[in-house]
Structure 1
């Protein structure tokens, strides 16, 4: 038996990268998985097949987490399919390079609004949709996948850092509000991770074409991997995290 037998996890942005890693790790621990994706249905189906190969149930849900109606509809569909959702992993997002990493004073409102919608509004909408039913369960867990940028405040990343900081503020508040219902709310803050989004970032900021070019200069001689982040999530939502809430775990090798 696994640590998460009988539990259901909804993972946003679960079709690739960090999200895929989280889906597979939680499935290995016994959870059934509701996989959210934005547009790449084939990738989501592939992850679902990997989850099923581990002996767990998997369903996929297309939704733009920046849209309240999409979040509501996805939550309702997952609850109808599985009966309950006791783990919510807010992982979906867009990278800072998607809006060009403008200086704060040179940025219009659209890049800021776009990042806030993905990283702050989306988790807010999904918490509203799923936390009430978690109160009736034996245990609930919400994990926010943030970033070291939320507290790093690097130049040209102001809009992204602000959006991730808003996500973290939501988590800290929710943790205090829902503790009495045995709902745990925690944050995982990755550093550089070997994903498509991570590669786009280093191409833009460092002019490299491969993560391998960066390994030697990284802690422990390598760039972070999706499974490093997934391991942190598994700790928070598993039995070893039963007395842990309102915490932020940086996973950057530093």
Structure 2
């Protein structure tokens, strides 16, 4: 991301938490927010080396960051993570709920265990982190939240049933919390990315990827940096009259309404 495409210091001294920030879309979001002045807490579950690389990239562009390890599906670990951030910097003001898992298999291979894990990480994890930072945002009368949904949450996904349901839940969660907190100067929005070129696609057959690209009006995969640009916009005061929305970034493959 070149400096000319960012808005220097529009998040100056803001405290941001990006879950799943070690790579892919999460890393791009961390870098974008750091470039624009935020102090960025990079959450990761297992990939410490990837998280350290993200932190190094933040420092390279002159930003400030810290690593916070936690499984977002665990309320105890989420509480510990946010407590670490508060002790170091203060209360979280900008939250990007990006952490998630993905599966791609026929319904005949979907187990109850896999179903529960998908919802616990993608949906309950979004709830737990949001609920942990909510009180601080209410006390400060300020908060900006972006939840990462997916195009799969808006369209039928027979090869990713559990994933699609979890991401549809994120859309509903976004809408309801946006209305609940609108009077408290807390804005909540979501992003529904389409096919984005990140590691999460490693288990998807290349022929299937090619078919999706061919069906996309802008015939390519999206970039993580393009998603990060929308995250930055929704967290910023440029979107001050926008809340409860799910913004699709799909190259035109899905258009709302």
Q: Against the structure 1 CA distance between its residues 79 and 235, is the aligned structure 2 distance closer, same or farther, given a 3 Å change threshold?
A: same
Whole-Å Cα distance in 1 between the matches of residues 26 and 103 of structure 2?
18
Aligned to 1:241: 239
Aligned to 2:255: none
Aligned to 1:102: 106
Do the aligned residues in 1 keep the contact of 2:219 with 2:251 (CA within 8 Å)?
no
What TM-score, normalized to structure 2?
A: 0.89
Return the offset for 1:156: 2.4
Return the offset for 1:127: 1.1
Return the offset for 1:217: 5.9
Whole-Å Cα distance in 1 between the matches of residues 208 and 109 of structure 2?
23
Aligned to 2:60: 53
Moved over 6 A (4+): none
Aligned to 1:9: 16
Are residue 37 (structure 1) and residue 35 (structure 2) matched? no
Q: Against the structure 1 CA distance between its residues 102 and 69, is the aligned structure 2 distance closer, same or farther, given a 3 Å change threshold?
A: farther
Do the aligned residues in 1 keep the contact of 2:15 with 2:93 (CA within 8 Å)?
yes
Return the offset for 1:138: 5.1
Whole-Å Cα distance in 2 between the matches of residues 51 and 238 of structure 1?
19
Task: Give structure 2 stretches of 5+ with no counterpart.
Answer: 1-7, 253-257
Task: Provide the aligned C-alpha RMSD in A.
Answer: 1.9
Whole-Å Cα distance in 2 between the matches of residues 227 and 200 of structure 1?
22
Do the aligned residues in 2 keep the contact of 1:145 with 1:189 (CA within 8 Å)?
yes
**Per-residue CA shift, 1:24-46, capped at 9, x if unaligned?**
11111111100001111111111
| Number of residue-to-residue matches in the alignment | 245
Whole-Å Cα distance in 1 between the matches of residues 179 and 157 of structure 2?
29
SS at match of 1:177: helix
Return the offset for 1:220: 2.8
Task: Give structure 1 stretches of 5+ with no counterpart.
Answer: none
